[in-house]
Amino acid sequence: GAVVSQHPSRVICKSGTSVKIECRSLDFQATTMFWYRQFPKKSLMLMATSNEGSKATYEQGVEKDKFLINHASLTLSTLTVTSAHPEDSSFYICSARNPGTGEGVNTEAFFGQGTRLTVV
């Protein structure tokens, strides 16, 4: 099956610094990727839709200046948490759909391994 790789898997950073998380589709080209945030034992909350070659679409309540998304190529999307605060500590996970399998409702979403961010 298709593979999505996310890096790093864990990161600890100091308050006020920025952290970049990468999401790569390894064996397909993804025009659209999705970024989710998850608190412990809670649901995955969609943060934004990353579109290759254009601006990301953010969900309501997500600060676009705080969570910068760049989809520079068909295989790479990055999420940068700027000026991180302890409340940004969370599990971030990306997903992508292989457009080669069609655009219907039944196409599987492939997820990265996730990144556990801790801001101290």
Partner 1 sequence: AQKITQTQPGMFVQEKEAVTLDCTYDTSDQSYGLFWYKQPSSGEMIFLIYQGSYDEQNATEGRYSLNFQKARKSANLVISASQLGDSAMYFCAMRGYYNQGGKLIFGQGTELSVKP
Q: Which is nearer to partner 1, 16 or 102 (CB)?
A: 102
Which helix (H) or strand (E) element contains residue 105? none
Look up residue 87 and give its amino acid.
E
Applying CB under 8 A, does 97 fall inside the site for partner 1? Answer: yes
For position 93 contacting partner 1 by CB under 8 A, the verdict is yes
Amino acid identity, position 3: V
In the range 16-45, which residues lie near partner 1 by CB under 8 A? Answer: 31-32, 34, 41-45
Q: How far is the CB of 18 from partner 1 (least distance, A)?
A: 22
Question: In 3D, which of 81, 89, 83, 78 has the Cα closest to residue 12?
Answer: 89
Q: To 5 degrees, how large is the angle CA 82–CA 83–CA 88? A: 80
Give me the residues that bind partner 1 (CB under 8 A), please: 31-32, 34, 41-46, 49, 51, 57, 91, 93, 95, 97, 103-111, 113-114, 116
